[in-house]
Copies of this chain bind each other. A is one copy, B any other.
Amino acid sequence: MTVRVGVIGVGVMGADHARKLARVISGSDLVAVTDFNSEVAGAVATELGARVQPDGQALIADADVDAVVIATRDDTHADLVRAALRAGKPVMCEKPLAPTAAECRELVAAQRELAPPVDLVTVGFMRRFDPPYVALRERVRDGALGAPMMVHGISRNVSSAPGGDSAASITNSAIHELDIMPWLLDSPIVEVSYQHGRSSEHSGARQDPQFYLLRTASGVLVTVELFLNARYGYETRCEVVMETGTAALALPAHIVTDAESRRAVDYPVDWIPRYSDAYRIELQEWVDSVVAGRPSALATAEDGLRAALVADALIESMKSGGRWVEVAD
């Protein structure tokens, strides 16, 4: 009852997945990896006792591979997901499912044509498995503080990869917020507005920080700050304002240090330590669902499409000077 997994793309994110699948996920066996950079692929394969496949298509075709993880560049996702669908193999694709809503829509359609119909595609929106987010959602759902009215989300990174533009901030980074807010509130985003102020001198041509207003079908006003060059550390905040109180993600910290005239807790430099538990729990749930042949609790292809549609609406709002834009169905 072991799932033999292959990982396509073993850069920072994919190598982390590969290590977890090889070492700390029950019921999985890492059998193959591949990477655009064959040296990197070889090193990871050697470290973890897996074989190297020349490319993603070959890995998907490998008869010893039962299920596939995609952690390559965003613009390669659609082709690889399509290949996995053709091969009839479960696939966990890192977010975004594809950079545009149009491509996401095609993938959703391709999956719907499978006979018999089955959900092979899942999307790596790992925040859904983050214990603090899960606890926050339970607090919202239990109703003890009344209905939500506003949510304030903040996503900050140390620095952005070179080359991206203001739209890429949305499709590649803010996409997490666009997925998690409807999940948290149990209501889709129906309308969005893009705002911004002065940009950081460290942010190049990109508008950064950015600020979004999102409205859910249930009438909740969601605000999101995305700041990719915040410099001080990697941080996610989220506060839900309800009728008799609020609930918010706590600042994760293992230790507190008193030194140099300060009491301080450390920030991680990137998302991997912050979401390490979330990735592990997500992968375990994915492997468990493959073993059991049941739908998983991961984000579906449809979820990936919905996030992409919200991203498209935000980009349209950006281009139109910030007006409210409806999200397409």
Contact = CB atoms under 8 A, between A and B. Distances in A.
A7 to B, nearest CB: 16
Contact of A249 (B152, B202, B250, B254): B254
B248 A131 contact: no
Interface in A225-249: 225, 227, 230-233, 235, 241, 243-249
Contacts of A199: 149
A38 to B, nearest CB: 27
A146 to B, nearest CB: 7
Given A26-B24, A255-B139, A263 B260 contact: no
A132 B255 contact: yes
Given A198-B219, A243-B202, A267 B257 contact: no
Interface string A179-221: 0000000000000000111111110000001010101001111
A250 B254 contact: yes
B246 A257 contact: yes
A169 to B, nearest CB: 14
Contacts of A136: 254-255
A145 interface: yes
A69 to B, nearest CB: 16
A225 B249 contact: no
A150 B209 CA distance: 8
Contacts of A296: none
A264 B267 contact: no
Given A26-B25, A131-B254, A232-B244, A198 B260 contact: no
Interface residues of A, number: 76
Given A255-B139, A259-B232, A197 B221 contact: yes
A39 interface: no
Given A243-B202, A260-B245, A197 B250 contact: no
Nearest to A281: B24
Given A197-B150, A211-B223, A265-B263, A139 B257 contact: yes
A135 interface: yes
A34 interface: no
B232 A261 contact: yes
Contacts of A144: 259
A243 B26 contact: no
Nearest to A225: B150
Contacts of A23: 26, 284, 288
A128 B52 CA distance: 36
Contacts of A209: 149-150, 241
Interface string A273-316: 00001000000100010000000000000000000000000000
10 contacts: A139-B257, A150-B209, A152-B225, A197-B220, A198-B218, A245-B260, A250-B265, A261-B266, A262-B265, A262-B267
Interface of A: 22-26, 28, 131-132, 134-136, 139, 144-150, 152, 195-202, 209, 211, 213, 215, 218-223, 225, 227, 230-233, 235, 241, 243-251, 253-267, 269, 277, 284, 288, 322, 324
